[in-house]
Each structure stands twice: as structure tokens, then as C-alpha cells.
Amino acid sequence: MSSPTTFDLNNSFKAFLKDPEWPLKTTIGGFINYMSLGIFIFNPALTPICFILSALSTGYLLRSLRMTANGELEKLPGWNDWMDLTISGLSWLSIAAGFFFFAMSVLAISLLTGAGFDLSNVSKPNFLIWAESTFLFLFFLSFGQNFFLAILMANFAQEEKMAAGFAWRKVVRRIRKAPLELGTVWLAGSTLTVVALIVPTMSVIGVLFTPFCFFLAQIISTRMIGQTWAYLNQLETTIQPELTIAEN
């Protein structure tokens, strides 16, 4: 098998299958997602419980990403210390929520501007320009935020501290250093996640397995990001001594 720091995405798919407990570990995560969705459908007033369950599964994804970034490809993390998983997941979700609310504030400003200048009236000649520009801006903003958050998540998972979730300059440097690699794993992971949400819903029985397929896709996606993060860490440790020698 290739080194954990080698940019070979096959390891993200195949390596964790060597863990004899991988079916149980992924099933637990899928069941937590299933409970979160079921509770919300049953009673939306119980949304805080759904949020805590989502934090629990998110904390597990962060732990899986951390293990992969540290080179542990052939094992999935255990479902232990649930309080730590929940706190870690809540911390990350709070950071991600900031990006979400920023996008919503942009939408709110656009709607207020449209109402103030009477651009939101369909009969007005500038309505189409206003509507299309708002949609396109929000689309590309969400697109960019999703990509940036995927990379930021790797830094947050590895450093295990809240400040890592705001190390935006470090993430930008990493993106500038390896845009192709990071873009590839993000697109692959996003595509896999979307497929896991859509394909099972094509049949009545498949709908029941959607939360499980979604969680498995998330595991693979975060492992790809983690492996790429380890690859970039290796590049930095290799390049830095060469730069030091060149400066001397």
C-alpha cells in the first residue's frame, strides 16, 4: 500500500475496509443520522435534540479526519467518549453556522435593497437583473464557502482547538499551494455525498437507507480530505528544510 502521505485516493476507499468493525461503526453513525431525521419529522420542536445528534456524528467525522491526517488509514475511530465527540461537533457546527449566517445576511441585504428601490416588483424592467445577480452571487458564494469549509475542517480536526477554525490565512496558503489536489478531493467528496442522498431515494426501500449511505459517504469524503492534508503536511516538512539550506 502507498504511504499515507502519498496522494492516492484509493487508500481513502479501501484502507478502512481492513478494520473488521467498519460495518458496525458506520452503522452507528447512520443510525444517529436516522434518529436525528426521524425526531425532526416527528416533532420539529425537538430540533435542539436533532442538533446535538448531528454534533455527535460531526464529532466522529472530525475524529476520523484527524486519524487520517495523522496517517492512520486502516482503522476507523471508535465510538467512545461521546461527550468529547459532541463538544467537538458543536464547536465545528458553530463555526460553520457563521458562514451560513453570512450568506443569509447577504440574501437579506439584497432583499431589502430590492424592496427599497422597488426592484423586487416583477413588472419592473430591472427585476430580472436584480434577481439573477442575487442568485448567481449567492450560488458562487455558497460554492466557495463549501470548498473553504472542507479545507478548514481538516485544520480544525488536526489541531483540536477552537482557534484552528479561524486560521483562514493558513487555509488560503494551503489552497494556493495545492489547488488541484484540494479541488479534486472536494469535488469527489461532494459528488459522492450528493449521490448518496439521491440514489437511495429512487426506491421506497432505499429511502430507509439514505441516512446510512449519507454517513458512509461523509466518512469517505473526510478521509480523502484528511489524506490530502497529510500529503500537504509532508510537502511542507520536505520543502522547509530545503528553503532553510538555500537561505544559509
For the chain of 248 residues, list the mean pLDDT of each consecutive stretch of 10: 50 77 92 91 91 94 92 88 94 94 94 87 86 94 95 92 91 91 91 92 87 91 90 75 48
Residue 92 domain flag: yes
Give the pLDDT score at 246: 47
What are the cell numbers at 179? 489547488
The H-or-E segment that residue 220 falls in is helix 210-247
Nearest CA to 225 among 149, 135, 121, 128? Answer: 149
Name the phi and psi angles at 161, rounded to 5.
Answer: -145, 150
Residue 140 domain flag: yes
What are the cell numbers at 80? 467512545
Amino acid at 176: R
Residue 243 domain flag: yes
> What is the SS3 string spanning 112-149?
HHHHHCCCCCCCCCCHHHHHHHHHHHHHHHHHHHHHHH
Give the pLDDT score at 2: 41
Chain Cα centroid distance, residue 214: 12
Domain interval for residue 87: 10-247
Residue 1 domain flag: no
Give the pLDDT score at 207: 86
Which pTM does this prediction carry?
A: 0.87
Residue 4 domain flag: no
What are the cell numbers at 36? 436525528
Residue 146 domain flag: yes
> Please, are residues 105 and 137 in contact by the beta-carbon 8 Å criterion?
no
Residue 153 domain flag: yes
> Hey, how many other C-beta atoms are within 10 angstroms of the C-beta on 211?
23
> Please, are residues 65 and 31 in contact by the beta-carbon 8 Å criterion?
no
> How many domains does the structure of the chain reveal?
1
Amino acid at 243: L
Give the Cα-Cα-Cα angle 140, 187, 199 (nearest 5 degrees): 105
Q: Cell 488541484: give the residue.
A: 180
Residue 3 domain flag: no
Report helix angle 210-247 to 127-159, nearest 10: 70
Name the phi and psi angles at 29, rounded to 5.
Answer: -60, -40
CA distance 134 to 103: 11
Give whole-number Cα distances, 23 to 14, 214, 216, 217, 230, in Å. 13, 14, 10, 13, 25
CA distance 71 to 69: 5
Q: Greatest CA span in the chain, whole angstroms?
A: 69
